[in-house]
Structure 1
Amino acid sequence: MKIITGETRVYGILADPIHHVQTPQRMNEHFAALGHDGVLVPLHATADTLAQVLQGLRGLRNLGGVIVTVPHKTAIVGLCDEVSDSARLIGAANVVRFEADGRLVGHMLDGEGFVGGLRANGIEPRSRTAYLAGAGGAANAIAFALVQAGVARLTIANRTRAKADDLKQRLAQLDPAAEVVVGTPDPSGHDLVVNATSLGLREGDALPLDTARLTSDQLVCEVIMQPRDTALLRAAQQRGCRIHYGAPMLAAQIALMARFLGVGDTAATALA
């Protein structure tokens, strides 16, 4: 067990709910491998107290930064003093560095992590068609990353169409030639089917898409890590689909998050 002293650098992960997070154990293993005297701990903050919590955290001199997950990735952008250009365009951040002068600097790594997780498992998104359920923080990041990766067509489906339309317009700023359409709960006709919503975190959640329309030639992907086998993935397997778990997205981000927080590569602490 790690010995924590007054010299230990502290980091947190902000979430609501908090029970499902797997980042602390992964990041602490990474810190240990680097020989870094640091510890990442879960911090349960609700949406209505996020601003108050973050303001209080500013006063902790031994806090190096926070990882941000559901449901705070969008709201955190407006609470930072500075965010990367990509995070501002995406409209969400999932890592915030606490600078020595008290400034909070945010960045978004979900999209890079998701595509990195696909590629680490031998899945190349370039030239494939992709269906994305959701238009929140993680979905925005994944949409941008998929377009940058060169998908042939991206379909965005969200319960609130206005959010999907807004995401489509921002993707046009990234690549005016990208084929992006707003879709329905029907994921048929796509090579990759991605759930980037929080549906599946809780027992009894509605399915994020019409699983009856899935076909066996599709790869169905999750961003949720706990539970590992979500209702969507179970339904996809019953339809004969290949599946891709949520864990690889986190695995691909751990070193990136640590470097942004100034651990492992000091050159990477500059705003991305």
Structure 2
Amino acid sequence: MALVTFLSDFGEKDYYVPAVKAKMLAINPQLIIVDISHAINTYDLEHAAFLLRATFRDFPKGTVHLVGINTTGSMTQGYIGIKLEDHIFIGPNNGIFSLLADQDPGIIVQFADIHVKDSTFPTRDILAPIAAKVASGAAIHDFGGPSSNFRRLMARQAKATKEQIIGHVIRVDQYGNLITNIRRDVFERLNPGTFSIQFGRESLSKLQLGYDQVEAGDPFAFFNSMDLLEIGINHGHAGGLLGLKRDSVIYINFGV
């Protein structure tokens, strides 16, 4: 199955998204192209990486993931293809791919100059043709050679001791729920049975299993489908009501 996912910060009002898809379909009209999102804030690598990390494993192994985020920015050091957990990613070498997993890719290919033309629209002119051809059966090695020049970004990590976990909000979703970088496995390893989650002026000493297990207007916390601590207000926008946003600090104190 020739499957390509497409993630960008292009929005939906301009010609950019259909132009990229047209370029791929001109190479292989049988391609299946799945949009992950084009509503990323411009140049927001962290949000883009969050979405891709949360979704790519749900696609079949061998899926090609095309990323068009900040492809012409000063952070970008050429264009690469990587293989990670039997998925192929094609995009700019600007650090976004370093945020997808805790380990480095198994294969990193720097696309050769013959494939990298001067362009003000590299996602269409450079990356889309390679993505379409790789999804159709070509290997990423056909377009370049191994590279050690893999740009890395440091994701913010929660800090944990036996007494406390200090984490941060990494995403405020469409509903105002606060997704944090506090992982279930870390919490379960440290939790002695009693704890207090502190966020803004509120605190909770109990985890729920879902969104609707508290009364409307009450706060909740649970570990979501990504095994990350999520905090919200039932039928309310937690970010706005609590004055919390991305990078706001969340505390879990143990034994209290």
Report the TM-score when normalising by structure 2: 0.34
Name whichever structure is richer in helix by fraction.
Answer: 1
Report the TM-score when normalising by structure 1: 0.32
The structure having more radius of gyration, on CA atoms, is 2
